[in-house]
């Protein structure tokens, strides 16, 4: 670090320099919080996702647009599918770049059961796939790639896991080596600890970040999406296998709406009198399919059907029930639904739970579907874990000045190794023997970290400066231990 004492002593004859020095501090921006999240931006919600991210990019370590997929291309090879055109990706990349955070697009495994493990089983075909992914990153100027290969867990069957675990470990090691050699990042989205096919210790060694999908606890049958106690247990299990500083635990910003069913699996349907009936009483066009409800829609969906959400004390999630009526052509029925959903409170509770275990942060699915009320408290949590870097400043004032001439007072200010450009500095003074300080001027620090006050004092006075603190940076007051003496003109 440059010594401000040295700066003050050079070419400042007849001046006194008062400096406050600090120990070495990280060379990072002090006007931004420590990131606490990552997340995925679906291509089908590009506009909403882009708006949510760009307005809150200060909270993100990186961002993963959901842009790519793999598909079968022959017996043992894959091709890459791009969900956005090259022109559209360029437009969106430019917007993401402006936010200043690493862009690590996700690629999913759309090849179907047992296909990708076959590709990875052979050194030659595995090398070809590694090259495909490296080329995808380099050609598009991405900062890395995020692997979302879920067929191993949910399509292949556990009997295949032993062989796939070895193949996967070799693949991610080779891909990480190739990307790191080019200054690029490798991350992966993985299921929870029970899915040992993903060789979590190897991921912890070779990947830059690991995102754990701690959601979808309930899919086929109604229930909470990410019960908070389960999220905590899964975080503990992952921390035992993967360095906590690489872990981002999944947090859903969505819920689901299911049709309620009886013990035989039949949809619960009633007639006008509230008596049980069957779907045969419903007109054409009814639906019994489950659907996703974004956190931004939870309360509005409840209001639409006259329901009142309540928070389940065990899972910490919102839930409500409602009936949807269908009538046409003389037919009439009400199909009964149950919703489990998310809001800002569920996101914040899970954030607190995982950060308390020392992990890097949360991974949200999706960016753009959230309850917008989450952002302010998330930002507060980010600032709460941001180190407060000290303000470092020098204050140079002349020891004497001839009455009526200019006395130049200089301040140089920085924090975290960077000039405090734009920060407002207040100069105040007091008479000799007085304890009352009077503000004189407030000026902004320049891009070079310097602010200059030019005065024409008519009497001897003592001066001080005040630099206010802000989130991530301490404030500072420097009082001169000497007076600037005003002497008569010769």
Reported as a single tens digit per residue, the pLDDT across 166-188 is: 999 999 999 999 999 999 999 99
For 4-26+388-487, CATH number out of 1.20.950.20, 2.60.40.730, 3.30.300.180, 1.10.10.10 equals: 2.60.40.730
| H or E, element range at 276 | strand 276-277
pTM for this prediction: 0.83
Half-sphere exposure of residue 353, counting CA atoms within 13 Å on the CB side? Answer: 23
Which percentage of the chain shows pLDDT scores above 70?
94
DSSP secondary structure code for residue 412 in this structure:
E
What are the tokens at 175?
């891909």
- What's the pLDDT at 482? 73
| C-alpha triplet 331, 333, 337: angle, nearest 5° | 150
What CA–CA distances, in Å, run from 417 to 31, 61, 166? Answer: 13, 21, 45
At 282-300, the pLDDT tens digits run: 999 999 999 999 999 999 9
Q: Do domains 4-26+388-487 and 254-341 have the same CATH topology?
A: no
What are the residue boundaries of the structural domains of the chain, listed by start? Answer: 4-26+388-487, 37-253+344-384, 254-341
At 56-65, the pLDDT tens digits run: 999 999 999 9
Q: Is 476 helix (H, G, I), strand (E, B) or coil?
A: strand
**Average of per-residue pLDDT values in the chain:** 92
pLDDT band at 16 (very low <50, low <70, confident <90, very high): low
> What distance in Å separates the CA atoms of residue 327 and residue 344, rounded to the nearest whole number?
36
Do 282 and 269 form a contact (C-beta atoms < 8 A)? yes
- What's the pLDDT at 18? 55
Largest CA-CA distance found in the chain, in angstroms, rounded: 109
At 345-358, the pLDDT tens digits run: 999 999 999 999 99
Helix 228-239 to helix 344-355 angle, to the nearest 10 degrees? 30
Q: What is the CA radius of gyration of the chain?
A: 30
- Look at strands 391-398 and 361-365 and give their pairing: unpaired
Q: Is the pLDDT of residue 22 over 70?
A: no
Q: Is the pLDDT of residue 408 over 80?
A: yes
* Length of the chain, in residues: 490
- What's the pLDDT at 180? 95
| Fold of domain 37-253+344-384 | TIM Barrel (3.20.20)
311: left (phi over 0), alpha (psi -120 to 50) or beta: beta
Among 60-69, 257-266, 277-286, 399-408, which stretch is predicted with the lowest mean pLDDT? Answer: 399-408
For 254-341, CATH number out of 3.40.50.720, 3.40.50.620, 1.10.1040.10, 3.10.50.10 equals: 3.10.50.10
- DSSP lists the bridge partners of residue 393 as 20, 413
Backbone φ and ψ for 486, nearest 5 degrees, come out as -95, 125
Backbone φ and ψ for 345, nearest 5 degrees, come out as -65, -40
What are the tokens at 402?
């001839």
Do 347 and 298 form a contact (C-beta atoms < 8 A)? no
């Amino acid at each position: 670090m440059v010594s401000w004492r040295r700066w003050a002593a050079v070419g400042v004859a007849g001046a006194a320099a008062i400096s406050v020095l600090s120990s070495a501090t990280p060379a990072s921006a002090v006007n931004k919080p420590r990131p606490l999240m990552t997340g995925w931006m679906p291509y089908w919600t590009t506009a909403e996702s882009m708006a949510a991210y760009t307005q809150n990019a200060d909270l993100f370590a990186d961002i993963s647009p959901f842009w790519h997929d793999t598909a079968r291309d022959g017996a043992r090879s894959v091709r890459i599918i791009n969900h956005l055109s090259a022109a559209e990706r360029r437009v969106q990349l430019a917007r993401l770049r402006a936010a200043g955070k690493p862009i690590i697009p996700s690629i999913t495994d759309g090849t179907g059961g047992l296909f990708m493990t076959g590709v990875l089983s052979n050194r030659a075909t595995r090398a070809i796939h590694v090259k495909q992914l490296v080329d995808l990153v380099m050609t598009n100027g991405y900062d890395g790639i995020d692997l979302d290969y879920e067929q191993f867990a949910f399509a292949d069957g556990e009997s295949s896991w032993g062989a796939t675990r070895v193949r996967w470990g070799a693949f991610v090691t080779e891909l990480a080596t190739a990307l790191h050699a080019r200054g690029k990042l490798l991350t992966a989205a993985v299921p929870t600890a029970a899915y040992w096919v993903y060789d979590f210790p190897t991921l912890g060694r070779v990947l830059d970040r690991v995102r754990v999908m701690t959601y979808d606890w309930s899919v086929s049958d109604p229930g909470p999406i990410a019960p908070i106690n389960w999220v905590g247990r899964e975080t503990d299990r992952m921390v035992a296998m993967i360095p906590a500083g690489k872990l981002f635990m999944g947090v859903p910003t969505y819920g689901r709406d299911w049709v309620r069913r009886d013990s035989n699996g039949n949809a619960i349907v009633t007639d006008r009198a509230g008596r049980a009936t069957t779907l045969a009483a419903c007109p054409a066009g009814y639906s019994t399919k489950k659907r996703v409800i974004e956190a931004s829609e939870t309360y509005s969906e409840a209001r639409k059907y006259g329901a009142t959400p309540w928070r389940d004390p065990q899972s910490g999630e919102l839930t409500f029930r409602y009936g949807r009526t269908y009538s046409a052509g003389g037919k009439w029925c009400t199909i009964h639904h149950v919703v489990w959903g998310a809001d800002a409170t569920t996101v914040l509770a899970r954030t607190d739970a995982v950060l308390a275990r020392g992990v890097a942060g949360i991974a949200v699915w999706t960016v753009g579907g959230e309850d917008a009320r989450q952002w302010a408290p998330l930002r507060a949590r980010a600032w709460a874990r941001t180190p407060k870097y000290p303000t470092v400043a020098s204050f140079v004032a002349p020891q004497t000045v001839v009455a009526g001439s200019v006395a130049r007072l200089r301040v140089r200010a920085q924090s975290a190794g960077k000039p405090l450009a734009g920060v407002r500095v207040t100069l105040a003074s007091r008479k000799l023997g007085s304890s009352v300080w009077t503000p004189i001027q407030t000026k902004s620090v320049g891009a070079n970290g310097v602010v200059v006050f030019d005065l024409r004092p008519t009497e001897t006075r003592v001066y001080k400066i005040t630099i206010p603190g802000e989130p991530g940076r301490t404030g500072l007051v420097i009082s001169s231990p000497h007076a600037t003496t005003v002497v008569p003109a010769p």
